[in-house]
Amino acid sequence: MTAFGLPDAVERQRAYAKALRLSTVYTPQVVIDGQDDFVGSDVKSIGRALTGNRNGVAVELSVRDGEVFIDLDAQKAAPSDVLLVAYLRTAVSPIGRGENAGRTLKEFNIVRGFHSLGRWTGQRQQYHAPVDSLPRDSTDVAVLVQPLGQAPIIGAATIALR
């Protein structure tokens, strides 16, 4: 596991590998619509996969008074989990061993924690999470709305914490 490895992230990545029928997991990995995976540096393929209309759940985020507020409007949708993903926008890590020893690695969007905010069943609903409940090194959060199981994400948004 890397310096930033999280058991929850590894578990989620393994669940995607199973759903995608992959024999291994890898990093950086991009999963789109719960059905396609790409190496994070394959910008052209990722761009092609993201073209087209996406009808999803609107997720509104705000940060005020030391809390992250998440608003979901009423919309017909399958029962879904609402997940708050705290992440560190960027970090530089020294490489201590191997052929790259002595160099540094610049990393981006490093997941620092997952928090389940609860279940959403299509009604207008607000969730909130205290900023001080998140890992101290988190700079941003993403909120994911995902039907139960490892289904395609139907709503997402990000916001800086500071």
User: What would the pLDDT profile of 77-117 be if each residue is shown by its tens digit?
Assistant: 899 999 999 999 999 988 888 998 999 988 888 999 999 99
> In whole angstroms, what is the distance from residue 154 CA to residue 147 CA?
7
| Sign (positive or negative) of CA dihedral 75, 78, 84, 87 | negative
Greater model confidence, 8 or 90: 90
CA–centroid distance for 81 within its chain: 13
Give the position of tokens 């395609």.
152
Least confident range of 18-22, 48-52, 139-143: 18-22
Least confident range of 33-37, 67-71, 136-140: 33-37
Q: Which two tokens stand for residue 86?
A: 């705290």
Give the position of tokens 């890992």.
135
Does the structure show a pLDDT above 90 at 62? yes
Q: Which residues contact 142 (CB under 8 A, 6 or more apart)?
A: 84, 85, 87, 156, 157, 158
The predicted structure's pLDDT at residue 149? 80
Residue 91 CB neighbour total at 10 angstroms: 16
Q: Which two tokens stand for residue 27?
A: 């990093």
Q: Provide mean pLDDT across the span 16-33.
A: 76
The predicted structure's pLDDT at residue 86? 97
Does the structure show a pLDDT above 50 at 1? no
Does the structure show a pLDDT above 90 at 36? no
- pTM over 0.85? The answer is no
The predicted structure's pLDDT at residue 28? 61
